[in-house]
A and B are shown apart, each in its own frame.
Chain A
Amino acid sequence: MSDVLAVAEQRDGVLRKVSSEVVTGARRLADALAVRVDALVVAASPVQGADQLGGFGADKVITLTNPAFGRYAPEGYARVIADRARAGGYRAVLFAASAGGRDLAPRVAARLGVALAQDITDLAFEGGAVTVIHPVYAGKALLKLKLTATPAVVSLRPNVFTPVQRPKAGTAETVPVEAAAGRVVVTGTKAAAGALDVAEASIVISGGRGLKEPANFKVLEALAAAFGGRAAVGASRAVVDAGWRPHADQVGQTGKTVSPTLYIAVGISGAIQHLAGMRTSKVIVAINKDKDAPIFKVADYGVVGDLFEVVPRLTEEIKKLHG
């Protein structure tokens, strides 16, 4: 049948936002192929939000349930997804390039004995094959690849495939599966202090050495708060290495790659390794007192000035906008 399989992601029984992006990517590919999209959810029991995947282009939402699948179980998930992919004869299998998806996709691809294109920013069907764009060399070049094996297994960089709502709703089915969790067992998850992850936030406000000391990050946190839960605070490598901020917040080559709608770089000079992590942001704003800072070369909008004056003013104005 050669349809497209979109592997959704859930945590604690709730569908994660990135799932709608994967389904959107799958729909785009399926339209080019004139085939259907199945969305696949692996969970302990039916998942909250799974019914909405139809609205993003899934013709059918399949939930594979097993009591062992309450938490992410790498080996168990990989086995049931690979089995399903094989049984369904899919043309392509799409994952999110999230922390979980990046772990899961290689296992599934290896089980299927096919190549994986990880962390892609675009995909198409041309010349009879699935082609993708994959940023390499810290985003300094784009590799265009053709996947010659079937199924084509890919993972989609979060925040790049903007979810598209469709009027159509899909059907749903729940299939209990026999499976063991496997030898690798997730025994718990701890939430970090900032609830929103920089890799997933639609607005990221990052601070660098220009903040002068760790306590001054409260200036950025106030701005993030003014955006009302849509913004996360990131950090440059310099301030993470200095111990001011946790590694989880680091944006750049040895940190996270982010593609938010709006990226605000505050007191960050713009070293090449930082740019690697944020250059695919849709709109970049730089606030820096040094007018010659390299960050201004990639920023769409720059404000030259003292961040301790500019950012509080910006926070005030944003509050008014949302107030």
Chain B
Amino acid sequence: MKIAVCVKRVPDSETRVKIASDGKSLDETGVKFILNPYDEFAVEEALRRKEQAGSGEVVVVSLGPAAAQETIRTALAMGADRGVLLEADRVPVDGLEVAKALAAELKNGGYDLILFGKMAIDDYNHQVGPMVAELLDLPCVTAVAHLDIAGQRGTAEREIEGGVETVEFPLPAVLTTDKGLNEPRYPALKGIMAAKKKPLELKRAALGAGGLEVLGLTPPPQRKDGKVVGEGPAAVPELLRLLREEAKVL
């Protein structure tokens, strides 16, 4: 089974967001970058599918700056076989541009599965996976929380509001992974050592201008200073009065 996993280098979720002097981007000084947590589920799933099949290859593909090689190495340390970095100074804000570059790379790869995390925790875009599927004319299921594959057919479950949807699809396919699909492994020391020697190909990403222009990046409006209404159950009547009369939500 040949599987591609598309991963993204993102700021750690604990990052304190400082806006750069251009007023349009994140000041990356001192920011720690990690493998996008949703992509970890994709890498883990690829490794398990290859292990079950008994043979195959897991290829990790990323679009990003040179430093994204480290992100790819993290996936290689988990057990993926080789990596490809589509180098770009900046990841475009327009997800369709990212999707076009990835689709061009994946097009003739002969992959049975192409996996993505369901979204990146920096831009919350939820879009590159299904866009790649459209560009390659492949079936796609997003936000997969449970997966069974038998031969050339798959059954997936995805969370919808108030329930779970069961979806059937043929392979080859593009899937995006949600939390709950599996428990990603930690890279072992042996894997980290081995990853250093695994092949990692660098190519320049071919990117268009895209259809989104960043006008600004700003901190969210400060929430008004809250007040402690009181202590213990005795504070409940006053809380209700404020919710009714001041906040007007009851």
Contacts and interface: CB of A to CB of B under 8 A. Distances in A.
Contact of A306 (B95, B140, B232): B232
A184 B17 contact: no
- For the side of the interface on B, what is the size category? 35 or more
A91 interface: no
Contact of B235 (A131, A253, A303): A303
Interface string A307-323: 00110111001100100
Interface residues of A, number: 96
Contact of A279 (B211, B213, B223, B231): B223
Interface string B106-149: 00000000000000011111111111011100011111010000
Interface in A98-112: 98-100, 102-103, 105-107, 109-111
A186 B155 CA distance: 10
A304 B239 CA distance: 12
A317 B159 CA distance: 34
A281 to B, nearest CB: 10
Interface stretch (B44-52, B80-88, B165-173): B165-173
A135 B122 CA distance: 10
Given A100-B160, A115-B96, A187-B167, A321 B228 contact: no
A185 interface: yes
Contacts, number: 262
Contact of B213 (A102, A146, A302): A146
A141 B124 contact: no
B150 interface: no
Contact of A137 (B15, B130, B145): B15
A147 B162 contact: no
A254 B179 contact: yes
Interface string B151-185: 00001001111111111111000000001100000
Contacts of A261: 249
Interface stretch (A32-40, A172-180, A209-217, A293-301): A293-301
B94 interface: yes
B53 interface: no
Contacts of B242: 301
Given A140-B17, A303-B235, A107 B130 contact: yes
26 contacts: A99-B161, A105-B127, A110-B131, A110-B135, A114-B211, A118-B125, A136-B123, A138-B121, A140-B16, A144-B216, A146-B213, A185-B169, A197-B161, A197-B162, A253-B121, A273-B14, A279-B223, A283-B247, A296-B226, A298-B226, A301-B227, A301-B242, A303-B230, A304-B232, A305-B233, A310-B232
Interface of A: 16, 72, 74-75, 78, 97-100, 102-103, 105-107, 109-111, 113-119, 131, 134-149, 182-192, 194-197, 199-200, 247-248, 250, 253-255, 261-262, 272-273, 276, 279-280, 282-286, 291, 296-306, 309-310, 312-314, 317-318, 321
